Amino acid sequence: MPSRVTPDVRRRLVHAAATTSLALAAGCGGDATGTRQPPVPPPPAGTPRIGGDPGTLTFRTQAGTTPTTSSTQVALINAGTGALTGLSLGPTVYGSGAAGWLTASLAGTAAPTSVTVVADWAGLAAGTYTATIPVRSSVAGVAVLDVPVTLTVTAPPVIALRPDRVAFEGVVNGTNPPTQRVVVENAGGGTLADLAVGTVTYGDGQPRGWLLPRLGSTIAPASLALDAEISSLAPGTYTASVPLRSSGSSAANVGTPVSVSLTIDVPPSALVARPSNVVTFAAPQGASGADPQLVRLAQGNGSTVQLAGLSAGPIRYGAGASGWLARTTFGTITPDSLRLAVQGIATLAAGNYSASFDVTSTSAGVAPLPVTVNLVIGSGIPPRIVATTPNGRDTVTIQMARGGALPPVVDVQVTNGGTLPLTGLGFTIRDGANWLAPVLQPSGNGATLSIILNVNAQLLEAGSYTTTILIESSAPGVTNSPLRLPVVLRVN
């Protein structure tokens, strides 16, 4: 008996047949109609990319410095996917100014790796230089990585002197000329530091040690003070050279030395009295007179030209008495002598008397020479300056090593060789020697003169330096003021 198929069962069978037909078609590479389709490709293997871009590599240096090279490394990585191989460096591309100052080398041809970059500024002038290093890969589609490089070369410090020439002028036996100053500046780049004064050089066969340089600072701008010590120099022209150096800088920082000239002239003639233009007579009360004294008149300041037309002017007496001074001249041309004597003093009361007059010359430009005469009437002996050195000699001699420690203080005892008071003690340095700093300490009827060297002595070159200390007293009747005390400094 034929089976009976219901409508619902028939619909299910049709759906199952259709589903089976589609599955077969897919498995055979066809579509539902039986047409064959191509296979689906696999996913891509990845895209490599050169990474590690450092930005601009910067080198900074100063022209003339050593060593002349500097290096750094740039890391290269694969900033993409897949393998980054076949790496290489292209030719370096230089900007304007100079080429060939950059060297680059690759450590390996596959990432990760690195590039070593070396900058060499030998021979390059101050300025800014640029270059580009291309990094490539043989893998298709990989972009070139450009590594930019900048080299900045700055100018070195350079010593500039303003002015670079200095001239001193002086006269024989005159005072030292005023201090002169040179400004030390940086005419280059950077900082000019570690400044120092080199060894002073003097003209061939000329005296040494007369020039004293002092640098105010070791960093520019600085002031270089120059002093000339002329006390021992004869007439003539002297030269010296003072080099300025920067010990911490390149050779470009050795500046042109300061050129120094010193001209010593014979000063205009002057009328002088020797041993002094101050004369003192002393006599006991009731005496009729005292031993006469001679004053020698001569042309001074080292001049050899005789002065003519000598004459003595009117006598000017101080308070108390007059008419007690007599004088006689022996000629009218230098050298000449003036004889002084006292007269009619038997009736003078004990005390101090004074008189003065001028000696003139008709020679052009010669100033009058004042002469002062003191008369002391009394029972005592007029004061007299006595200077006693440690070794009992008339000259103080000090020795020290060049640039070494200052020697001990030398004490000179100043005492009174008379019985009347020795007061008003003081001193002056004849030629203003700046290496000497005496101190006078009064004590009783005298004083102690301490002869001290200051720090300027440590700047002196090897040689012998001489000056004179004039010990003075304002006491009435003092017979030998000023007393000359020579001081010799020997620098070994």
- The residues with which 336 forms a beta bridge, in sequence order, are 297
The amino acid at residue 314 is P
d(CA 288, CA 342): 8
Closest CA to 335 of 372, 384, 299: 299
d(CA 270, CA 307): 8
4 vs 478, residue with greater confidence: 478
Residue 296, pLDDT > 50, answer yes
287 vs 165, residue with greater confidence: 165
Residue 150, pLDDT > 90, answer yes
What pLDDT sits at residue 52?
Answer: 81
Residue 34, pLDDT > 50, answer no
Instruction: Evaluate whether 488 touches 397 at the Cβ level (below 8 Å).
Output: yes
Instruction: Evaluate whether 436 touches 458 at the Cβ level (below 8 Å).
Output: no
pLDDT band of residue 17 (cuts 50, 70, 90) is very low
Was domain 50-154 assigned CATH 3.40.50.300? no
Peptide bond preceding 163: is omega within 30 degrees of 0, i.e. cis? yes
**pLDDT (mean) for 281-292:** 84
Among the ranges 53-57, 291-295, 311-315, 421-425, which has the highest mean pLDDT value? 311-315
344 vs 252, residue with greater confidence: 344
What pLDDT sits at residue 348?
Answer: 92
**pLDDT (mean) for 457-479:** 86
What pLDDT sits at residue 25?
Answer: 34
What pLDDT sits at residue 35?
Answer: 39
pLDDT band of residue 314 (cuts 50, 70, 90) is very high
pLDDT band of residue 387 (cuts 50, 70, 90) is very high
Among the ranges 225-229, 403-407, 426-430, which has the highest mean pLDDT value? 225-229
Phi, psi torsion values for 45, nearest 5 degrees: -80, -15
pLDDT band of residue 481 (cuts 50, 70, 90) is confident
- Express each pLDDT in 330-356 by its tens digit: 788 888 889 999 999 999 998 889 999
**pLDDT (mean) for 343-370:** 90
Instruction: Evaluate whether 267 touches 302 at the Cβ level (below 8 Å).
Output: yes
* Superfamily, domain 159-265: Immunoglobulins (2.60.40.10)
- Express each pLDDT in 180-196 by its tens digit: 999 999 888 888 888 99
**pLDDT (mean) for 33-39:** 44
pLDDT band of residue 6 (cuts 50, 70, 90) is very low
Whether 271-377 and 50-154 are alike in CATH topology: the answer is: yes
**pLDDT (mean) for 125-147:** 94
pLDDT band of residue 174 (cuts 50, 70, 90) is confident
Instruction: Evaluate whether 117 touches 83 at the Cβ level (below 8 Å).
Output: no
Instruction: Evaluate whether 198 touches 246 at the Cβ level (below 8 Å).
Output: no
DSSP code for 242: E
The answer to whether the pTM exceeds 0.85 is no
Residue 107, pLDDT > 90, answer yes
What pLDDT sits at residue 249?
Answer: 52
Residue 85, pLDDT > 50, answer yes
> In sequence order, what DSSP letters do the residues of 23-34 get, joined into one string?
HHHHHTTB-TTS
Domain boundaries, given as residue ranges, for the chain: 1-41, 50-154, 159-265, 271-377, 385-491
Token digits of residue 130 = 């640029």
Residue 12, pLDDT > 60, answer no
What pLDDT sits at residue 431?
Answer: 73
**CA of residue 208 relative to chain centroid, distance:** 20
Q: What kind and span of H or E run contains 448?
A: strand 446-451
Instruction: Evaluate whether 381 touches 418 at the Cβ level (below 8 Å).
Output: yes
Among the ranges 155-159, 208-212, 294-298, which has the highest mean pLDDT value? 208-212
CATH fold for domain 385-491: Immunoglobulin-like (2.60.40)
Closest CA to 168 of 242, 228, 240, 234: 228
According to CATH, what is the number of the domain 271-377?
2.60.40.60
**pLDDT (mean) for 280-286:** 84
Residue 37, pLDDT > 50, answer no
